[in-house]
Amino acid sequence: MVNTILFYFFSMLCLLSAFLVITVKNPIYSALFLVLTFINSAGLVFLLETEFISLMFIIVYVGAIAVLFLFVIMMLDIKLVNFKRDLMKYFPVGLLLSLIFLLEVTSFFIQNLEFNPYEFSSLKNSYSSWYVKLDSISNVETIGQVLYTTYLLEFLIGGLILLLSVICAVVLTNLVKFNKKKQIISKQVVRKYV
């Protein structure tokens, strides 16, 4: 009962925040709603009892990618414009493309989900109990053991790339703009008024 309530809560909040990502005018608010979408999707994945993937959603998407989005948005100095006049100009084309996309997706599901390739096969009732094959450790400990033993070098390289991208974003946001006027006192002192 509690899982069902949490599923509906995370799902509705995820859909609402994903809708607000594309409808909000301010790009900083849009990036913050993107962070909220990532957090809600991590909550949904956590309900499926895959703790490691849920934690990686929060660490990678919220901690690295969304923060980089915020740095880039702050660095670009985007001006807010009124999009209402262009909305009706592109609405018919967007509606047509979305209907074509919806038609393609529904036709794919109708064609592929009705046919079961194992219906008349000997593999129809094959069942393997994976709980017998698992150790007594959790998902996070299993993936952590593989990550820190087999793929340690790749994990460290990925962490360094993310660290480098965050440092680059901070450096780029703190750069002095090229068109700034500088005050040269000696030129102001020797200036003659006509």
| pLDDT range class, residue 149, cuts 50, 70, 90 | confident
Would you state the pLDDT for residue 131? 61
Asked if the model's pLDDT at residue 60 lies above 70, the reply is: yes
Q: Decide which of 4 and 146 is more confident.
A: 4
**pLDDT tens-place string over residues 16-27:** 999 999 988 888
Dist CA 55 CA 43 (whole Å): 9
Query: Whose CA is closest to 14, among 37, 34, 44?
Result: 37
Tokens, residue 132:
């017998």
Those residues whose C-beta lies under 8 Å from the C-beta of residue 12, and which sit 6 or more positions away, are none
What pLDDT shows up at residue 66?
A: 78
On the question of pLDDT at 115 being above 80, the answer is no
User: What is the set of domains in the chain, with CATH numbers?
Assistant: 2-110+137-175 (1.20.120.1200)
